[in-house]
Amino acid sequence: MRCAVLVFPGSNCDYDLYKAANSVEGMEAVYVWYAGDSLNGFDAIMVPGGFSYGDALRAGALAARAPILKALRQAADSGVPVLGICNGFQILTECGLLPGALHRNSGLRFICDTVSLQVSNTATPFTSGYAERADIPLRFPIAHGEGNYTCNAETLRKLEDNGQIVFRYAGTNPNGSVDNIAGISNLKGNVLGMMPHPERAMTDWMGTSDGRILFESLRGR
């Protein structure tokens, strides 16, 4: 499986994602610069966390207008899996591939911690491997200042009715996200945006290996 890892000026988690994907047997990750215009030949596309240029304006706002985003939308529309993590989640909402918006954390502070997650939908290309662990909380790292997912009541109802809420915070909600949302998908299920970092949960020495299952699910779809 050939995966594109998008790189924006100022990105600081692209290498983490690149390394995580390449550590999974059967996956090959390749960097793609934000000024490119094609994502042909890739089986999956990954938008990394960290930061991107223009975040001082609003997280993901300028990156969502980068040249490569046209190709990203086309790939998503054709059914190619797209994974956006942290800042990548913000970019996916800013460009319209996912509904809602990410606001400042409710405590107005940057959070760096490990949280418990519940998988709410195991029928996506990213979460099928969690089916046997759907009732067991997962442990994922978070590191964000604008992870407070917000949407209106109608959008929330649609997300719930359509099974688009993929991850929820289990127990403590670290950032004030509506309905404890930690990750959502588009209606087709091939685009996933999530605030926690699966690429930082790949081996036991990291404190948790629960993120590896996400990449293995994607590879084995």
* Confidence category of residue 170, pLDDT binned at 50, 70, 90: very high
- Residue 144 falls in the annotated catalytic set: no
- CA torsion through residues 190, 186, 68, 70, sign: positive
- The pLDDT score that the predictor gives to residue 120 is 96
- What digits encode the pLDDT tens for the residues 140-154? 999 999 999 999 999
What global pTM score does this model have? 0.96
Residue written as token pair 């790949």: 202
- Residue 199 falls in the annotated catalytic set: yes
Q: How many residues does the chain have?
A: 221
> 3, 13, 86, 95: which is the annotated catalytic residue?
86
Domain spans in the chain, listed from the N-terminal domain onward: 2-219
Residue 214: φ, ψ to 5°: -60, -45
> 3, 144, 146, 197: which is the annotated catalytic residue?
197
> 3, 144, 151, 199: which is the annotated catalytic residue?
199
- Residue 160 falls in the annotated catalytic set: no
Question: Please, what is the angle between helix 212-219 and helix 14-22, to 10°?
Answer: 60
Mean pLDDT of 61-68: 92
Would you state the CATH architecture of domain 2-219?
A: 3-Layer(aba) Sandwich (3.40)
| Dist. CA 60–CA 199, nearest whole Å | 19
